[in-house]
Copies of this chain bind each other. A is one copy, B any other.
Amino acid sequence: MANAAWIAELRSRLGGEMVLTGHAELVAYGFDATYEQGLPEAVVLPRTTQQVRHVLAVAHASGIPVFPRGAGSGLSGGSVPSGGIALALTRMNTIWEVNPEALQAEVEAGVVTADLQRIVREHGLLYAPDPGSASVSTIGGNIAENAAGPHSFRFGPTSHHVLGLEVVLADGEVVTLGGRTSKNVSGYDLVRLIVGSEGTLGVVTRARLRLLPLPQGRASAVTVAPSFQAIQDLIVRLARSPQRPSSIEFLDRACLNLLSEDLAGLITIAPWVQGLLLTDFLAPPQEAVAEAEAAADVVRSAGFEAWVFTGDPQARLWAARERLSPKVARIAPTKISEDATVPIDKIAAFLDDLQHIREEFHVDLIVFGHAGDGNLHPNLVVDERDPDMMDRAKKAIDALFRAALRHGGTLTGEHGIGRLKRPYLKLCLSPAEIAMMTAIKRALDPRGILNPGKAILDVEGRS
């Protein structure tokens, strides 16, 4: 075997139990939450930064590609390997410090996001990013994709919450970037360069994260509307209202049909309803209710009905929202969750386009998302064993990307480019932007061993 030398070298440096090469293990680390698949030549499961260092040093010396991964819950194929090493950080899951005085925490890359959220909550603190995958996805994966979620509308995406990073570079050098302060302009912002770079510039092993005081109260205002234009008008009104919501979530008619049982007793969805907005307020208890009531008044003054929910009904509403994605996934074998994002004054036009795409390509398209940020998730439910259906789905995706870009939007708000959206990068980035990105990639990973085929175009500019 030509590969024996580097695998033997990894085994001798790390110990055999950290380096897996059985076929079942290679398959198990060869996919993420998309339909993309690949097969690594070895799976490595390090426990320490020093071990990651060894992996990179061996890979760099041998020119072997390294595909870093967390829980494999990504939605763009960002961690799917093609040969080489699948470097799973999941065993590096220690929360090293929660500092309630400095409002920060230091964690390893493999810590599950919901575990961190739960632990800091015990200190009365909030780790604000809340991707839908939080119960399984890792902080390292969230950093790689700059994950966000409903409450990023108010609190910002992961990049706003990273103070410092420990990163292993392509040649195995360990570097600490950023620091322990929320404001820091000492040289270039390498932290924000790494966040969202999908492991193509270095492997994040540790992160120092910013925490916020935990809001003690929560209330939601709900409204429904008969047209996409009315939905957009309400989103803009809510986004501009002085009691800025923590999130503004949109669910289309197809979502509401899926959730009809979950919403029973909470809200009656009339046949004319084209969409629902679920607006959340996190604040001290009395204020949360007052803000939700004020938001409901904003909606009513525009001529629409609105309802305010607190306590158990509010929890049931959000539980329904959380069940949406799994419910969509059960419609057909393959759920393709897209992530196009448009300025909020273009939401109606984009929803119109999606309607046309649904009809033109005969695809089952279910749309929900973080409407306050213009971040919509058009979900295609397909069967990848049906080549004709997949062909239509791919044409529909192409059309929806082009529509989002036509409205001044982007391919992805929070899922990343990964492998799936890379062919579309040339639609949204200019040759000059692509050249800047490849120049940076070449400067930091000259051999191109870090997660090749992801995030940006090749050093040669190929897609």
> Which residues from chain A sit less than 8 Å from chain B, CB to CB?
99-104, 124-125, 145-146, 148, 152, 156-157, 159-160, 169, 173-177, 179-190, 192-193, 195-197, 201, 212-216, 236, 239-244, 283-284, 286-287, 290-291, 294, 341-346, 370, 373-375, 408-417, 421, 425, 428-430, 432-434, 436-437, 439-440, 442-444, 455-456
Contact = CB atoms under 8 A, between A and B. Distances in A.
29 contacts: A101-B236, A102-B344, A102-B346, A125-B240, A152-B183, A160-B160, A169-B436, A173-B432, A174-B432, A176-B430, A180-B408, A181-B343, A181-B373, A181-B409, A182-B374, A185-B413, A186-B410, A186-B417, A186-B428, A188-B197, A188-B436, A188-B455, A189-B193, A193-B193, A213-B242, A242-B284, A287-B290, A436-B444, A443-B443
Contacts of A442: 443
Contacts of A181: 341-343, 373-375, 408-410, 413
A412 B291 CA distance: 37
Contacts of A212: 244
Given A152-B183, A185-B416, A192-B192, A101 B440 contact: no
A213 to B, nearest CB: 5
Contacts of A197: 188-189
B184 A410 contact: yes
Rank and list the top 6 A-B pairs by shortest CB-CB distance, nearest first.
A192-B192, A183-B413, A101-B345, A439-B443, A175-B432, A102-B343
B425 A187 contact: yes
Nearest to A424: B186
Contacts of A243: 283-284, 287
Q: Which of A176, A187, A433 has the most CB of B within 10 A?
A: A187
Q: Which of A101, A433, A436 has the most CB of B within 10 A?
A: A436
Nearest to A188: B437
A417 B186 CA distance: 6
A293 B152 CA distance: 28
A373 B343 contact: no
Nearest to A212: B244
